[in-house]
DNA sequence: TGGTAAGGTTCCCTGTAGGGTACCGTGTTT
DNA sequence: AAACACGGTACCCTACAGGGAACCTTACCA
């Protein structure tokens, strides 16, 4: 209420409208793998194959796709080494790093929620 | 597979598996309207019709659905007054309140992100 | 001469989150 | 006798996020 009502303006990002910063954040990291990817990259720059190993239960295609979107949104930096076979390193941009505290809280909150849910 | 620091085990919630608390949190508040609903309820207990007014761009059906899920997840409390016409009040549970700091950060982060994106 | 490496892309398919519309119940007011 | 109040439910439909499988590139090595 205070947020969107007081400004009364709609926020737009890539042709989509958002009433509130929350929706923007969710649009950026709400994908099925994005938050986890950011979480992992926060600890280390990683090669594509490293990420594949971490996310063994998804496909190369999904990883590529999510990474490209994160890159397009300025949260992840993609560095290609011009060599064969290819070498590509992913790391967080400053903006990507800035979301880490939120991810941390989400991680803790989710764990605590489950703990509470599983101890009736 | 092994998630970095916080857990080595797979977490389950209502038959679904999560590798990390982040995914749990997203599963609970990642719906299209849930975070915003929690956000609004954090400021006030609200009647269903209040929420309808706040979320004028969704349908009664969607609101009901999201609210019921939030209730089922223990984040929202639903109080029915036995009268005609019906009166139903929604409020946050303690668990629902506990996620507010995250929503606040998400709101700020999203706004800042847009601000940065729109001033190149 | 073909296997392998890493990091993709292309095409096609599916499940489901999200949504539209219409109807319900029951007291009170016009 | 009908309209309205409020908070729903029932039924049906669609777009698109997510996913599976196969193919691509290019240098090197056996």
Give the orientation angle of helix A34-43 with respect to helix A100-118, to 10 degrees. 110
Q: Which DSSP helix (H) or strand (E) runs through A88?
A: strand A87-92
DSSP letter string, B73-95: TTSEEEEEE--SS-EEEEEE-HH
- Helix%, strand%, coil% for chain B, nearest 5: 50, 15, 30
Instruction: Read off the tokens for B83.
Output: 């009268």
What is the C-alpha to C-alpha distance for residues B89 and A27, in angstroms, rounded to an integer? 29
Instruction: Read off the tokens for B72.
Output: 């089922």
What is the C-alpha to C-alpha distance for residues A69 and B106, in angstroms, rounded to an integer? 19
pLDDT digits (tens, 9 = 90+) for B19-47: 899 999 999 999 999 999 999 999 999 99
**How far is A85 from chain B, CA to nearest CA, in Å?**
26
Question: What residues of chain B lie within 8 A of the CB of A39, using their CB?
Answer: 4, 20, 22
Check if the beta carbon of residue B88 is closer than 8 Å to that of residue B47: yes
pLDDT computed for residue A80 by the predictor: 97
Tell if the CB–CB gap between A22 and B103 is shorter than 8 Å: yes
Tell if the CB–CB gap between B22 and A110 is shorter than 8 Å: yes
pLDDT computed for residue A40 by the predictor: 97
pLDDT digits (tens, 9 = 90+) for A26-78: 999 999 999 999 999 999 999 999 999 999 999 999 999 999 999 999 999 99
> Minimal Cα distance from A97: which residue of B?
B109
Question: What residues of chain A lie within 8 A of the CB of B13, using their CB?
Answer: 114, 117
pLDDT computed for residue B64 by the predictor: 98
The whole-number average pLDDT for the span A91-95 is 98
What is the C-alpha to C-alpha distance for residues A63 and A42, in angstroms, rounded to an integer? 16
- CA of B87: nucleotide with nearest C1': D6
Tell if the CB–CB gap between A22 and B110 is shorter than 8 Å: yes
What is the C-alpha to C-alpha distance for residues A103 and B23, in angstroms, rounded to an integer? 10
In chain C, which nucleotides are within 7 Å of a protein Cβ?
5-11, 17-22, 25-28
pLDDT digits (tens, 9 = 90+) for A2-27: 333 334 468 888 778 888 999 999 99
Domains defined along chain B, listed by start: 31-117 (1.10.10.10)
pLDDT digits (tens, 9 = 90+) for A96-107: 999 999 999 999
Question: What residues of chain A lie within 8 A of the CB of B117, using their CB?
Answer: 13, 74
Question: CB within 8 A of A112, min separation 6: which ones?
Answer: B21
**How far is A119 from chain B, CA to nearest CA, in Å?**
13
Would you say the C-alpha torsion B34, B37, B39, B44 has a positive or negative sign?
Answer: negative
């Amino acid at each position: 209420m205070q947020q969107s009502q007081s400004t009364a303006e709609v926020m737009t990002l890539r042709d989509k409208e958002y009433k509130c910063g929350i929706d923007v954040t969710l649009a950026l990291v709400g994908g099925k793998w994005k938050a986890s990817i950011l979480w992992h990259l926060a600890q280390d720059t990683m090669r594509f194959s490293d990420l594949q190993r971490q996310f063994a239960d998804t496909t190369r295609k999904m990883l590529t796709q999510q990474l490209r979107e994160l890159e397009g949104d300025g949260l992840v930096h993609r560095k290609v080494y011009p060599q064969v076979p290819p070498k590509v390193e992913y790391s967080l941009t400053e903006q990507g790093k800035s979301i880490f505290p939120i991810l941390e809280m989400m991680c803790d909150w989710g764990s605590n929620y489950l703990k509470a849910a599983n101890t009736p």
